[in-house]
Structure 1
Amino acid sequence: MNKYLSGAVAATIAATFAGEALATEWNVSLWGKRRAFTEHVEKLAELVSEKTGGEFTLNISYGGLSKNRENLDGISIGAFEMAQFCAGYHRDKNPSITVLELPFLGVSSLEQEVKLSMAVYEHPATVADLARWNATLLMPSPLPQYNIVGMGAAPSTLADFDGLSVRATGGIGAAMETIGAVPTSMSASEVRQAMDSGVVKAVAFAPHAHMSFGTIENGTWWTANLNPGTVNCPVVVNTDALEGLSDAHREALLGSIEESLDHYIANYNGATMEAWGPALAERGIETVTFSDAEIDAFKEAAAAPAAAAWIEQNGAAGLPAQELYDMVTGMIAESM
């Protein structure tokens, strides 16, 4: 009997340790709070847990693991296994994907943004670019065209942006400079304080961020059709951690990306955009619309020079910049 019990106990212990060996927990570094911008990561965590019977879990942290501008650095040293970041926060660290932040590319939908992003992410030059940080790009966080919420007197023409301090990163910031605005690059979580203190008078964001980070609490006007571009904010994983997964866990992760993005897009196009109009109306925020002629002039002044400068700078640094730019613009042209 004692031998039987000892054997049973030993079997139980062995099974327990085997179960523990199979369990995988990843830490995920995001920022702010749960919002439309993070719904694909939340969905991914849900799907991965379901598919693995709880053996593979993604522990999502909103700011508890790293500052958002340091997420790529954290990935590089294995401080956590997954993170989200925006290319414009550190263009020198991820120049390949900043092609997607050039102004006035003409992207018309979140679905198109996903296709363009994945094509760039899978390009050998981009893979090599991110490999410098021991990082593998997993999926984008597709965002619509940015527009501006501002304080004070509303601009009636683009000339009224002259001298206006605007939070605008990447290509959007470069575009705003062409109409005399003074762009300032800061992370989303810093924006409300910057508005409160008067450091910036206006902020370029996608709709969800204007609502999530409180710019509409300060704003008195917003631009309905400026549409200078958007930012690219990938979800990235530590390459060693990805390669260290079991085949089943890796398949659960990679096989859930498409469904996670579908969920994200449905939520953004649905609940988020349905809330945007009422949020503006409730606060009495004035809608500013510019003429087609002004928008065309803005595009002409900003788009080509920004693209040429991007190609020259990154080509000189060894990136196949012209090839990446031609790929992106060619895909957009084909979809028209």
Structure 2
Amino acid sequence: MHKFAGRAAVAALALSFAGEALATEWNVSLWGKRRAFTENVEKLAELVSQKTNGEFTMNISYGGLSKNKENLDGISIGAFEMAQFCAGYHRDKNPTITVLELPFLGVNTLAEEVAVGRAVYAHPAVLADLERWNAKPLMTSPMPQYNIVGTGEPRDTLAKFEGMRVRATGGIGQAFEAVGAVPTSVTASEAYQAMESGVVDTVAFAQHAHLSFGTINKADWWTANLNPGTVNCPVVVNIDAYNDLSDSEREALDSSIPEAIDFYVSNYGKLLDQWETILAEKGVTKVEFAESELEEFRKIAADPIREKWIADMEAQGLPGQELYDLVQTTLKDMRGN
């Protein structure tokens, strides 16, 4: 009896371990805290778990696995299976994606941001670019046009940007530099401290980040219509981890991406609807630039920076003109032109 009971216990234990072995658990590296910017990942994890009856789960970490500027490096060595990063944090590591960070690109809505991101991520040059880091692009984290908050007297003309220290990365930083400002690329998590300590006068963010990282709480004014561009922040997966998924797990992951993006866009829209109320509650002055000032900004920043970017990409053997044209064609197709 005891021998039989012992064998039964061993068999049950073996089955238990076998069941555990069948489960797939991914670690996901984000930063900051849960916010509108991360809701695509949160929703994706929820959907995948539901579709696999909890057999494929994602442990989402906000800063516990890596620094945000090192997420792509972590993916490359398999330190975690999924991560979010922003192209402007390390332009040399992902040059092809930076086409989506060019200033005054002409993207007007989150839906358009999703469309151009999807098109660019599928381009062979971009796939090859990320493969150097053993990374596969999964989905974008679409953000509206950036605008700046600042302290003191509002800077409501380009002339007042001269010498302005602004937290801005990528093409947005280049655009501000073109009109005399001094950009610095401190991370999102460091922006509030940089503003509080006077390292920067102004911070360029999308609305959710001004809320999440507290810069709106230091602000006296906000530029409502400057719209110089945005940053592009892909969600990527480790290629080996993706390939190791079972067919059913991969289907659960891939099929959940559209719904995760739709949820993200809908959720972000609610934040945008509340933005005017938030500004009023915090006593932040809304600055509107004259169209003549905006046209001058575009003239100084858009064409020269775009042409230099294309030339730099082509010099590296990358299809800069083709990638830029892909963005513009995608926008035209979306608008039915």
In the alignment, which residue of structure 2 is the partner of 1:112? Answer: 112
Contact 2:167 2:191 in 1 (8 A): yes
Q: Percent identity?
A: 65
Q: How far off its partner does 1:275 sit?
A: 3.0
Query: Which residue of structure 1 lines up, in the alignment, with residue 161 of structure 2?
Result: 161
Q: Does 1:312 align with 2:305?
A: no
2:203 aligned counterpart, secondary structure: strand
Aligned counterparts of 2:3 and 2:117: Cα–Cα separation in 1: 61
**Corresponding residue for residue 139 of structure 2:** 139
3-state SS, counterpart of residue 237 of structure 1: strand
List per-residue Cα deviations over 1:158-185 (Å, max 9, x = no partner). Answer: 2111110001111111111122111111
Q: CA deviation at 1:10?
A: 4.7
Superposed displacement of residue 39, structure 1: 0.4
Matches within 5 A, 1:38-187: 38-187=38-187
For residues 195 and 86 of structure 2, the distance between their equivalents in structure 1, rounded to whole angstroms, comes to 21
Residue 53 of structure 1 deviates from its aligned partner by 1.0
* Corresponding position of 2:294: 295
Amino acid at match of 1:34: R
Separation in structure 1 between the aligned mates of residue 157 and residue 10 of structure 2, nearest angstrom: 78
Q: For residue 334 of structure 1, what is the amino acid of its counterpart?
A: D
Mean CA deviation greater in 76-85 or 277-286: 277-286
1:215-230 aligned at under 5 Å gives the runs 215-230=215-230
What is the CA–CA distance in structure 2 between the aligned matches of 1:13 and 1:40, rounded to whole Å? 38
Aligned to 1:98, what secondary structure does the other structure show?
helix
Q: Which runs of 5+ in 2 are unaligned?
A: none
- Secondary structure of the structure 2 residue equivalent to 1:229: coil
AA matched with 2:210: H
Counterpart check, 1:324 vs 2:323: yes
SS at match of 2:143: coil
SS of match in other structure, 2:225: coil
Question: Relative to structure 2, which stretch is displaced further, 56-65 or 12-21?
Answer: 12-21
1:256 counterpart SS class: helix
1:271-306 CA-partner distances (Å, limit 9, x unpaired): x11332222111111111011121112112111111
What is the TM-score with the length of structure 1 in the denominator?
0.97
Q: C-alpha separation between the residues in 1 aligned to 2:53 and 2:81? A: 20
Instruction: Please give the alpha-carbon distance, in whole angstroms, between the structure 2 residues aligned to 1:137 and 1:260.
Output: 15
Aligned 8 A contact 2:26 2:57 in 1:
yes
Q: Name the residue aligned to 1:259.
A: 259
* Range with bigger deviation, 2-11 or 303-312: 2-11
Aligned to 1:21: 21
1:335 Cα offset (Å): 3.3
The aligned amino acid for 1:298 is: F
Letter of the aligned partner of 1:263 in structure 2?
F
On the 8 A contact 2:119/2:330 being kept in 1, the answer is no
Alpha-carbon distance between aligned partners in 1 of 2:330 and 2:118, rounded to the nearest angstrom: 12
Over the residues paired in the alignment, what is the CA RMSD in angstroms? 1.3
Residue identity in the other structure for 1:84: Q
Shift of 1:60: 0.5
Work out the number of aligned pairs and report it.
335
Question: More deviation in 28-37 or 149-158?
Answer: 149-158
Q: 1:20, CA displacement in angstroms?
A: 1.2
Equivalent-residue separation in structure 2 for 1:329 and 1:148 (angstroms): 26
Give ranges in structure 1 of 5+ residues lacking alignment: none
CA distance in 2, matches of 1:318, 1:189: 34
Do residues 31 (structure 1) and 36 (structure 2) align? no
Provide the rounded CA distance (Å) in 2 between the counterparts of 1:89 and 1:40: 20
Q: What secondary structure, in the 3-state scheme, does the structure 1 residue paired with 2:204 have?
A: strand
Correspondence 1:219-258 to 2 at 5 A: 219-258=219-258
Q: What residue identity is the alignment partner of 1:304?
A: D
Equivalence for 2:333: 334
| Distance in 2 separating the partners of 1:193 and 1:18 | 49
- Is contact 2:165–2:182 with CA below 8 Å preserved after alignment? yes
Partners of 1:207 and 1:333 in 2: CA distance: 26
SS at match of 2:92: coil
Aligned-residue offset at 1:6: 5.4
